[in-house]
Chains A and B, each alone.
Chain A
Amino acid sequence: MQQVRALPVVGGFADRLLAEDLPDLPHQRRAEVVGFVARRVDGLPSFTRFGVLLIGVVFRALLAVPGGWGLGRVVLRLPLPFVAEYPRLVRSLGYAYVWEHWPSTTPTGGAA
């Protein structure tokens, strides 16, 4: 698992999630944030990284099929321990990055 890079696994999911949460965030910024999220996932301690990538692989597969994203969102709303941590991790890293780097960002991601 140490050889697997995070970006191809979590990148698509992070991009989709942040695009929905922050629709007005410019593309270039979102790409930067996704890159940051992936770097941080790469730096996670072994076990957590393994878990995140495992869940990430499942969601990447979901994203690849029609209607998969909708199903994925339903799954994420279920009170499943650890699975719900996945979007939370992406959002924590993403939002922290957005507002630290561009503090005047609006709640929808727009550049105020």
Chain B
Amino acid sequence: MIARPADAAMDAEVLVIGSGAGGATTAAVLAEAGIDVLVVEEGEWVEQGDTVPFSLDQMDRQYRAGGVTVALGLPSVAYTEGRCAGGGTEVNSGLYWRPPGELLARWREDFRIADFDPAELLSIADEVETVLHVGTDPAGPTAPSEAMRRGADALGWRNGEIPRWMRHDGSGAGQRQSMTRTYLPRAAASGARIVTGCRVDRLELDGDRAVAAHTTLPDGRTGRITFRDVFVCGGAIQSPALLQRSGIRGNIGRSLAVHPTVKLAARFADPLNIPDDVPVHQVKEFAPHLSFGGSASNPGLVALSLLDEWNGFRDAVVDWPRISVYYAAITSQGRGRVFSVPRLRDPIVTYHLTARDRALLRSGLGRLALLMLEAGADTVFPSFRGAPAVRTRKHVATMERLFSANRASVMTVHLCSTVPIGEEAARCGADSFGRVHGATNIHVNDASLLPTAPGVNPQATVMAFAIRNARRFAAGESHG
């Protein structure tokens, strides 16, 4: 383990708060440029393999609040955040999507991002893919993936295997990659110090500069870290919350964007459940506004997916080996907010779905149910209160009629856009390189910067943004 406990008083040229996809890449780039870097992480360092993927134990150790976090609204949207060394990269499915080139170009225009070259970001994506060993699975699709492929093919819907960061050895066995295996060790090798179990409560400001970070250590002591520059990389909820707690105003936390998802459980004739992994096939026929994929499906999660209509569906819980859970995800026109209330440790998060979002969730769940019937599911159990068990096309119509987003388990794992990057004063919270508008040495470098939710797994885009901005910062340093 390369992390160590924090001291009460510390100092660094650059303080990086958070060690996920944004923080770890930032730390590696800056440390390799010869800058003195200190990374502080609130969670603990957990080696890959020490927890069972998608288990409650993993949620306890590596997720914020054990994974029970929610954006309030009608309906509320459940979300999850990694809270450990490596952040979300340690606990997600590791699926990797490059940022779509045309989306990058649109962001540049709409948010007036200066000196923003989609080609540069895509070339950074090339590097990232090498470092993380992004690739497809030589073993071929698992049964739940295969079911998704079969259903989509029957309908003529575009689908495919999504590559992920998995290093395959000669035997075909995969070793999952993440920040604790790649960018964090790289940062440490170039002299970065990494401390865990250290929460940053607020930044101490002096005019337009931050001069120190006030911290809380695991034993309850408080501490203070001084620095010349600070990179806030706590993710789309924690980064704006920290800025707000520090008294920074502007477009901070006002435009939370997520990919809302709804789920269903599909039961087949034969066993297909894989408790500790997720399907790697996605259906992109309706992308970007609508995508389908597979979810983690351990027996506990199968029970959860049946919970909304438990009275009708509970008998199926014993069939969990024949059940896999799938999701429909949408790009949302709704927005959420993150706001910090004085004296409250955690921010309040809200999210509002528009009428179009609700229609799209309904349609998405219907199309996904149809796909599962075509894949050979004997019964589909949609996750909303009052849902019918779906066995025929007519049942799909009944399901769509009864669907209401307010009665559904809406959730998301993709959170972004709370400190949008760019020069468009009305909506951007940070300048074209992530420096917070109105501040001289406070930078944000994580998912908060993405101008909108990208419609694909966002982690590749987050890393490309973070590396671009960190390089720009390092280049400015070397020129004096």
- Least CB distance from A39 to B in Å reads 8
Indicate if the CB atoms of A47 and B344 lie closer than 8 Å: yes
Q: How many residues of A sit at the interface, in one of the four size bands? A: 20 to 34
Indicate if the CB atoms of B341 and A107 lie closer than 8 Å: no
Chain A CB within 8 A of B320 CB? yes
Chain B CB within 8 A of A81 CB? yes
Indicate if the CB atoms of A44 and B304 lie closer than 8 Å: no
Chain A positions within 8 Å of B56 at CB level: 36, 96-97, 100
A39, A47, A97: the one within 8 Å of B341 (CB): A47
Chain B positions within 8 Å of A104 at CB level: 318
* A21 (CB) vs chain B CBs: closest residue: B310
Chain A CB within 8 A of B317 CB? yes
**A43-B65, A44-B68 given; A99·B344 CB < 8 A:** no
Indicate if the CB atoms of A47 and B348 lie closer than 8 Å: yes
Indicate if the CB atoms of A106 and B318 lie closer than 8 Å: yes
A39, A81, A96, A98: the one within 8 Å of B74 (CB): A81
Chain A CB within 8 A of B300 CB? yes
A56-112 CB contacts (< 8 Å) to partner B = 81-82, 85, 88-89, 91-93, 95-101, 103-107, 112
Chain B positions within 8 Å of A106 at CB level: 318
Chain A CB within 8 A of B302 CB? yes
Chain A CB within 8 A of B299 CB? yes
B64, B76, B317, B346: the one within 8 Å of A46 (CB): B346
Chain B positions within 8 Å of A40 at CB level: 65-66, 68
**A45-B346, A85-B76, A100-B55 given; A95·B300 CB < 8 A:** yes
Indicate if the CB atoms of A44 and B317 lie closer than 8 Å: no
Distance A41 CA – B11 CA, assembled complex (angstroms): 36
- Least CB distance from A52 to B in Å reads 10
* A89 (CB) vs chain B CBs: closest residue: B68
Indicate if the CB atoms of A45 and B298 lie closer than 8 Å: no
Chain A positions within 8 Å of B251 at CB level: none
B43-63 CB contacts (< 8 Å) to partner A = 55-56, 60
Distance A36 CA – B314 CA, assembled complex (angstroms): 22
**A40-B66, A107-B314, A107-B318 given; A92·B304 CB < 8 A:** yes
Indicate if the CB atoms of B317 and A107 lie closer than 8 Å: yes
Distance A21 CA – B74 CA, assembled complex (angstroms): 26
Q: Mark B345-366, 1 if CB is under 8 A from A, else 0.
A: 1111000000000000000000
- Least CB distance from A86 to B in Å reads 12
Distance A48 CA – B307 CA, assembled complex (angstroms): 21
Indicate if the CB atoms of B298 and A46 lie closer than 8 Å: no
**A99-B302, A99-B303 given; A45·B69 CB < 8 A:** yes
Distance A85 CA – B68 CA, assembled complex (angstroms): 12
**A47-B341, A48-B70 given; A103·B320 CB < 8 A:** yes
Chain B positions within 8 Å of A99 at CB level: 299-300, 302-303, 317, 320
Chain A CB within 8 A of B169 CB? no
Indicate if the CB atoms of B65 and A96 lie closer than 8 Å: no
Chain A CB within 8 A of B405 CB? no
Chain B positions within 8 Å of A36 at CB level: 56
- Least CB distance from A45 to B in Å reads 4
- Least CB distance from B256 to A in Å reads 15
Distance A48 CA – B298 CA, assembled complex (angstroms): 26
- Least CB distance from A22 to B in Å reads 10
* B321 (CB) vs chain A CBs: closest residue: A103
Chain A CB within 8 A of B421 CB? no
Distance A47 CA – B348 CA, assembled complex (angstroms): 7
Indicate if the CB atoms of B344 and A91 lie closer than 8 Å: no
Distance A95 CA – B310 CA, assembled complex (angstroms): 11
List 23 interface pairs A-B (beta carbons < 8 Å), by A numbering. A40-B65, A40-B68, A43-B60, A43-B65, A44-B68, A45-B65, A45-B347, A46-B345, A46-B346, A48-B70, A81-B74, A91-B307, A95-B304, A96-B56, A96-B303, A96-B304, A98-B300, A99-B300, A99-B303, A99-B320, A100-B301, A103-B299, A112-B318
Contacts A39-B66, A48-B69, A100-B299 aside, 19 further interface pairs with beta carbons under 8 A come to A21-B310, A40-B66, A45-B65, A45-B345, A47-B341, A82-B72, A93-B68, A95-B304, A96-B56, A97-B56, A98-B300, A99-B302, A99-B303, A100-B298, A103-B299, A105-B317, A107-B317, A107-B318, A112-B318
Residues of B within 8 A of A (CB): 55-56, 60, 64-66, 68-70, 72, 74, 76, 298-304, 307, 310, 314-315, 317-318, 320, 341, 344-348
